[in-house]
Chains A and B, each alone.
Chain A
Amino acid sequence: MARFMSWFDKPATDTQITHGSRLWLYALAVVLFAFLVLPTLIVIPMSFSESQYLEFPPRHLSLRWYEAYFHSRSWMQATATSFKAATLTVLVATPLGTVAAYGLYNAELAIARLVSLVLIMPIVIPVILVGTAIFYAYVKLRIVNSLIGVVLAHSILAVPIVIMIVTSALKSFDMNQERVARSLGASRLEAFFMVVMPQIKFAILTAAVLSFLTSFDEVIVSLFVSGGDNSTLTRIMFAALRDQIDPTIAAISTMMVVVTSLLLGLSQIFGRRAKR
């Protein structure tokens, strides 16, 4: 206890303020961390509750909301759509973004900056406008409510993220290595795949994971461009949220948190291995 008390009187910073007189700061920080983290986590135990009224802690455990989810045709179809759209978005956005990032990084032309500026617009323009604009284009192209439309829209949102991640990886890569490979007889394509790519593969993997999540979690653009049999999970969830508090959504939320953490966790593990 005495040792603990003396911690109160110990200086905490260079300005000689003591830990004791800063307790309010520590308390506030704890409350804020709880505010940031707990709301998302608390849904997980709640999803196992037996009751309609989402108790915490749940008095009786049950899987009924998971059953409701897995037995509902519309939820299952929406889940399938979301997984398909997210996977296809990864397959479209990652190569498009990676190639664009590499090209723009090496182009050294004034016009390249203008092209880059256009390519980050999807995350600068307010999402509601992105949704409106893409919807308007799709009406003309007749691809509203199609899977291909959802994938294209989500790819537009994911490409800037891929470009940012890959560009920052290229900045820490020594381009002279590529020049050496080429002067030793490799073509530019060979040099890219054999020298550049292995060294930025972690960035590409991260970009792929974030593309997946961008599509999987996207709400607003999906509200405009997905529908009918091709409604995304987020679209159905959003509609359900506005009507009533359906406990099935707690089960779905838990699933989404698990998918997100798994993907981010795996990419971290692979990343660490790649760095070694």
Chain B
Amino acid sequence: MSTPTAPATISLSDDHAAALSRDRLIERWVMLSLAAPAFAVVFVCLIVPVGWLFYLSFFTDSGAATLINYRHLIEQPSYVRIFWTTFKVSALTTAICAVLGYPLAYFMSQLPTRAANLCMIAVLLPFWTSLLVRTYAWLVLLQRTGLINHWGMQLGLWSEPLPLVNNLTGTLIGMVHIMLPFIVLPLYGNMRSIDRSLLQAAANLGASPVQSFWRIFLPLSVPGLTAGALVVFILCLGFYVTPEVLGGGRVTMVSSRIATDIDTFLNWGSASALGAVLLVLTFLLLWIASRLAKNLSLIGAGH
């Protein structure tokens, strides 16, 4: 897209050409300036304070330069435990989402477009319902006297109320519910674009349905799976509401600790060190994800 140039038949003097290119440059800067108000708000209220927090993490309360905030993260067992919990919860959520999301996306990719679009609404519906409403719903369903325990015992599946909430189980159920669409969407898009004739060819050459799935379909859907899983994992690292409410104080992730450090202790140094680690980790994973996406789409079956 370029600004229209004069037809070649009109010969321009150098002065005219210079003036035109100057006008064009001015116009581009005018266009860029339209983004200035939004940029100013984001820059002043977000980017600068994030940078400032980064800076704070290298100082003690009295203002001396130090790495003590970071040493605490490595040496204090409570911080080590929080990182381990965060990693464990994120990895488990990602694994469950992959195991459940893959067949769901596969099922949808085999449907005619119209039916698949209807299913898509069901997948996207939770996307736009309030996070708190969904968390509350799970709290109600999973509690000791909740529907799941009630029905489970009525059907004789178990006799004592199971502890389904205020622990890791509840947290995982809530997080999988929120994250599932994030893996289904890229997987579905990926699977839709797989060339069906490759599977026909495999069948034609004598592959059983199971063989052609494992050897043709699955490898071709790996880019979607990787992209989705990475997105889920990255988003899980920063989770706050679900572990707080459904974990009942037993699942403390990085975000919860940052919040309590600030809320209760006004401990900006340690909160910002934790925040810095979370941020660097997030960016690192995003970078890996974008590199992987590029490489995989190069390897991926010719489209």
Contacts and interface: CB of A to CB of B under 8 A. Distances in A.
Given A129-B275, A238-B132, A253-B137, A97 B245 contact: no
Interface in B93-111: 100, 103-104, 106-108, 110
Contacts of A15: 199-200, 202-203, 207-209, 212-213
Contact of B104 (A28, A109, A134): A28
For the complex, would chain B's binding face be called helix, strand, loop or mixed by DSSP majority? helix
B39 A119 contact: yes
A121 B187 CA distance: 25
Given A127-B238, A245-B139, A253-B130, A118 B43 contact: yes
Contact of B132 (A56, A152, A234): A234
Contacts of B254: 128
A216 B134 CA distance: 15
Interface string B131-155: 1111111111101010100000000
Interface of A: 12-17, 21, 25-26, 28-29, 32-33, 35-37, 39-40, 42-43, 46, 53-54, 56, 96-97, 99-100, 102-104, 106-109, 111-112, 115, 118-119, 121-122, 124-137, 152-153, 155-156, 159, 163, 175, 179, 183, 213, 216-217, 219-220, 223-224, 234, 237-238, 241-242, 245, 249-250, 253, 256-257, 260, 264
A200 B103 CA distance: 37
Given A128-B258, A219-B132, A115 B32 contact: yes
A246 B42 CA distance: 37
Interface string B201-227: 011000111001100000000000000
A39 B32 contact: no
Nearest to A103: B34
Given A15-B207, A125-B282, A155-B41, 19 more contacts: A28-B104, A33-B122, A40-B134, A43-B136, A43-B140, A96-B38, A103-B32, A126-B237, A131-B259, A134-B45, A136-B49, A152-B41, A217-B130, A219-B241, A241-B245, A245-B139, A245-B143, A256-B133, A257-B133
